């Protein structure tokens, strides 16, 4: 039997119940040594890169991801050539084009991409973003009718449409052409669209299934530009200037930051920092973002504000903000989204408290279900995805949160964990008649329940995913990249490590351990239950830290108990905090353990 990897810092069980292990296995450790010897990269940066499966010959390219080396020919996507030709025809003939997007960040960015591109040709496309509550996900007959009645002869669906057989057939029956640009899992019959570009359709072998919808939309625009160029058209839009939207969508849709996605985010961040999009700039100002915008700001500060419109406000606000060139309009929309986000946070906190209490009772003193399925008639349908994410985070297993209707039906969202394909399980539930409607991808899914379906769905999803969840939870050991001291956590060190970014799903942010550091201060701050703290090493250096939403958890309790100087092994990720022209490093604490 293969011996178990030694525990990092001998932590067999942390305060959150996890074993700490070195992210580098012996083979990766040898690769890290080779990278350090054959490049000018620092020792710890070499460790970070090697731990992510990068070979020595690829190290330099990994820290400098470029579209030139990573962008494939868009024609590798099934139906791309047909779609690009039809969209190019519409541009050349000045057709009225209708856009139908989704109400999340990816949908808003995809719609804004297409709006900005088409407006560059002097076109005035119509755009419909469905209301999450009254219309639900994807095209519907009434919305298609509205676009056609506005004179649209071509309708493009973005981040949706793959499973919308009825509404697309309806639009076709009324004489409109329909193009689908999507990335959601496709199963069964395809809609009767004029073209369906989706790297996750079963017959697509492009290998680009990890792209978000905005990434697919960007590749579409590359293909359309090529067609127009071949037809002799000049003065084409600068697509590189649109990569800010692709970066935002890629981070917020939590797709893997590997391959082409790394280049999208790296280059897109450069565009964002240049301030070319007045909508994003206004949103950052309103959110009081200081310092250079990074993936964290996209995923946790800007993205949630754009989502707030689709969750509890006007679903079209995100696309409008991201596509406008009017500074006054951008500031007004950004301010409204900021208000909606604050309201969303209040509603979310109340719902999460209820959901956690319900889950605690469901789990009890045993192992509990492999997938949590909770619901309440008091929950706003726009925040159930956030509730599911908090449950997944708190209990270490996939979770669904459902906003129940008075008749017992409802709409819900699920969030998964690595190694557990939630979207495929939901599609199977639809196929077997367990639920009426649902779909998604590996890490997230949406469902619609008819009265009486919640119990059967709970039983189905638990049985379907139990083995996968059990295997995934076995792999939940906390993986650390290296050990540091508070003195070593400098802004220059963080900047060096960020060269291995952008970090996110598929390229995890490096986790560093701080062995036997004294907790000099800890307190609960804010309505979200964050715990802020200060830790120091034996040489007197100090490092400030924060543990998000830790109040009332084993981690929060351990930090507060140790606040008078008790020493703990602490671990987490590092970021540079910019405030009034000063740079300080902050540790985002993810776990702790008692030394020895």
Could you report the per-residue pLDDT of 59-110, keeping only the tens digit for each? Answer: 988 999 999 999 999 999 999 999 999 999 999 999 999 999 999 999 999 9
> Which among 474, 500, 535 is the end of a domain?
474
4 confidence band (pLDDT: 50, 70, 90): low
Count of structural domains, the chain: 3
pLDDT at 538 over 90: no
pLDDT at 15 over 90: yes
Instruction: Tell me, yes or no, whether 368 and 285 share the same domain.
Output: no
CA distance 268 to 247: 5
Number of residues that this document lists for the chain: 596
Report how far apart, in Å, the C-alpha atoms of 429 and of each of 185, 248, 389, 407, 447 are. Answer: 14, 31, 21, 21, 10
> Which among 474, 503, 518 is the end of a domain?
474
Task: Please list, residue by residue across 454-474, b when 16 or more beta carbons sit within 10 angstroms of its beta carbon and e when fewer do.
Answer: beebbebbbebbeebbeebee
pLDDT at 497 over 90: yes
CATH at residue 136: 3.90.1640.30
**What's the pLDDT at 527?**
75
> In the numeric block, which tokens belong to residue 368?
């509990």
Lowest mean pLDDT among 21-25, 470-474, 516-520, 549-553: 470-474
Give kind and range of the element (H or E) at residue 284: helix 278-286
**What's the pLDDT at 476?**
75
CB–CB of 74/223 below 8 Å?
yes
3 lies in a domain? no
pLDDT at 2 over 50: no
Q: What is the mean pLDDT of residues 42-70?
A: 94
Instruction: Tell me, yes or no, whether 362 and 428 share the same domain.
Output: yes
pLDDT at 228 over 90: yes
Evaluated on CA atoms 392, 395, 400, 404, the torsion sign reads negative
521 lies in a domain? yes
Instruction: Tell me, yes or no, whether 379 and 315 share the same domain.
Output: no
CA distance 113 to 3: 52
**What's the pLDDT at 459?**
96
1 lies in a domain? no
CATH at residue 422: 3.10.310.30
Task: Please list, residue by residue across 76-106, b when 16 or more beta carbons sit within 10 angstroms of its beta carbon and e when fewer do.
Answer: ebbbbbebbebbbebbeeebbbbbbbbbbbb
310 lies in a domain? yes
> Which among 439, 474, 509 is the end of a domain?
474
Q: What is the 3-state secondary structure (H, E, C) of 456-524?
A: HHHHHHHHHHHHHHHHHHHCCCEEECEECCHHHCCHHHHHHHHHHCCCECCECCCCEEEEEEEEEEEEE
Q: What is the mean pLDDT of residues 446-454?
A: 94
CA distance 488 to 204: 48
Q: What is the 3-state secondary structure (H, E, C) of 397-433?
A: CCEEEEEECCCCCEEEEEECCCCCCHHHHHHHHHHCC
Q: How many CB atoms lie within 10 A of CB 366?
A: 7
115 lies in a domain? yes
Instruction: Tell me, yes or no, whether 494 and 583 share the same domain.
Output: yes
347 lies in a domain? no
CATH at residue 486: 2.40.50.460
Q: What is the mean pLDDT of residues 382-391?
A: 94
Instruction: Tell me, yes or no, whether 44 and 145 share the same domain.
Output: no
Instruction: State the residue range of the domain holding 467.
Output: 358-474
CA distance 306 to 155: 24
**What's the pLDDT at 134?**
87
50 confidence band (pLDDT: 50, 70, 90): very high
Kindly report the average pLDDT of the chain as a whole number.
94
Q: What is the mean pLDDT of residues 29-57?
A: 94
**What's the pLDDT at 1?**
33
Q: How many CB atoms lie within 10 A of CB 58?
A: 12
> In the numeric block, which tokens belong to residue 23?
């992210």
Instruction: Tell me, yes or no, whether 101 and 244 share the same domain.
Output: yes
Instruction: Tell me, yes or no, whether 412 and 511 share the same domain.
Output: no
CA distance 514 to 409: 49
**What's the pLDDT at 3?**
47
Instruction: Tell me, yes or no, whether 464 and 535 share the same domain.
Output: no
**What's the pLDDT at 576?**
94
Q: What is the 3-state secondary structure (H, E, C) of 130-165?
A: CCCCCCCCCCCHHHHHHHHHCCCCEEEEECCCCCCH
**What's the pLDDT at 132?**
86
CA 470 to chain centre: 24
Question: pLDDT digits over 304-318, tens only?
Answer: 999 999 888 899 999
Question: pLDDT digits over 247-292, tens only?
Answer: 999 999 989 999 999 999 999 999 999 998 999 999 999 999 988 9
Higher pLDDT, 233 or 290: 233
Instruction: Tell me, yes or no, whether 504 and 415 share the same domain.
Output: no
Give the max Cα distance, the chain. Answer: 75
Instruction: Tell me, yes or no, whether 219 and 235 share the same domain.
Output: yes
352 lies in a domain? no
Q: What is the mean pLDDT of residues 389-411?
A: 93
328 closest CA partner among 270, 282, 376, 374? 282
Q: What percent of the chain has pLDDT above 90?
A: 85
On the CB side of 408, CA atoms within 13 Å amount to 8
Q: What is the pTM of this model?
A: 0.88
CA distance 243 to 264: 6
Instruction: Tell me, yes or no, whether 130 and 212 share the same domain.
Output: yes
CB–CB of 536/486 below 8 Å?
yes
397 closest CA partner among 454, 467, 470? 470
Instruction: Tell me, yes or no, whether 286 and 418 share the same domain.
Output: no
**What's the pLDDT at 579?**
78
Report how far apart, in Å, the C-alpha atoms of 491 and of each of 175, 218, 584 are. Answer: 59, 34, 7
Give kind and range of the element (H or E) at residue 195: strand 195-197
498 confidence band (pLDDT: 50, 70, 90): very high
CA distance 465 to 419: 10
353 lies in a domain? no
**What's the pLDDT at 440?**
84
């Amino acid at each position: 039997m293969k011996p178990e990897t030694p525990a990092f810092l001998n932590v067999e069980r942390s305060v959150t119940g996890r074993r700490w292990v070195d992210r580098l296995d012996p083979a990766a450790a040898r690769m890290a040594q080779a990278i350090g010897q054959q490049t000018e990269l620092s020792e710890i940066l070499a460790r970070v890169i090697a731990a992510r499966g990068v070979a020595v010959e690829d190290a330099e390219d990994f820290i400098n991801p470029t579209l030139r080396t990573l962008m494939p020919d868009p024609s590798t996507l099934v139906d791309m050539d047909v779609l690009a030709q039809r969209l190019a025809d519409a541009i050349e003939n000045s057709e009225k084009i209708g856009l139908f997007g989704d109400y999340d960040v990816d949908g808003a960015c995809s719609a804004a991409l297409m709006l900005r591109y088409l407006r560059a040709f002097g076109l005035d496309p119509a755009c419909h973003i469905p209301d999450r509550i009254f219309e639900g996900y994807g095209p519907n007959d009434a919305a298609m009718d509205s676009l056609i009645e506005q004179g649209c002869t071509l309708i493009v669906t973005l981040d949706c449409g793959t499973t919308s057989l009825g509404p697309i057939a309806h639009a076709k029956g009324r004489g409109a052409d329909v193009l689908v640009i999507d990335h959601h899992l496709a199963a069964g019959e395809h809609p009767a669209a004029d073209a369906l570009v989706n790297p996750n359709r079963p017959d697509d072998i492009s290998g680009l299934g990890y792209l978000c919808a905005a990434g697919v939309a960007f590749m579409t625009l590359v293909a359309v530009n090529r067609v127009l160029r071949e037809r002799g058209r000049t003065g084409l839009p600068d697509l590189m200037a649109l990569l800010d939207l692709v970066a935002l969508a890629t981070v917020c849709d939590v797709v893997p930051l590997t391959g082409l996605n790394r280049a999208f985010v790296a280059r897109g961040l450069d565009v964002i920092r240049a301030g070319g999009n007045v909508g994003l700039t206004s949103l950052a100002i309103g959110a009081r973002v200081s310092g250079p915008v990074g993936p964290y700001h996209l995923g946790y500060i800007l993205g949630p504000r754009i989502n707030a419109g689709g969750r509890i406000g006007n679903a079209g606000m995100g696309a409008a903000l991201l596509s406008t060139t009017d500074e006054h309009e951008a500031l007004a929309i950004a301010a409204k989204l900021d208000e909606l986000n604050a309201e969303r946070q209040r509603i979310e906190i109340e719902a999460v408290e209820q959901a956690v209490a319900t889950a605690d009772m469901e789990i009890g003193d045993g192992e509990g279900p492999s997938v949590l399925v909770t619901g309440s008639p008091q929950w706003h349908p726009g925040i159930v995805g956030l509730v599911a994410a908090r449950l997944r985070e708190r209990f270490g297993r996939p979770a669904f949160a459902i906003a129940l209707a008075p008749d017992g039906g409802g709409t819900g969202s699920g969030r998964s964990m690595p190694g557990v394909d939630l979207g495929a399980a939901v599609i199977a539930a639809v196929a077997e008649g367990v639920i009426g409607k649902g779909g998604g991808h590996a890490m997230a899914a949406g469902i619609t329940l008819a009265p009486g379906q919640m119990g059967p769905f709970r039983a189905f999803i638990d049985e379907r995913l139990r083995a996968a969840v059990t295997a995934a939870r076995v792999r939940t050991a906390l993986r650390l990249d290296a050990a540091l001291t508070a003195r070593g956590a400098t802004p220059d060190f963080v900047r060096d490590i960020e060269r291995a970014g952008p970090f996110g799903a598929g390229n995890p942010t490096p986790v560093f351990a701080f062995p036997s550091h004294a907790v000099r201060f800890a307190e609960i701050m804010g309505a979200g239950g964050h715990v802020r703290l200060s830790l120091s090493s034996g040489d007197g250096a100090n490092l400030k830290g924060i543990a998000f939403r830790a109040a009332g958890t084993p981690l929060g309790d351990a930090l507060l108990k140790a606040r008078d100087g008790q020493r703990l092994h602490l671990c987490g990720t590092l970021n540079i905090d910019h405030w009034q022209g000063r740079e300080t490093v902050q540790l985002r604490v993810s776990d702790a353990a008692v030394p020895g």
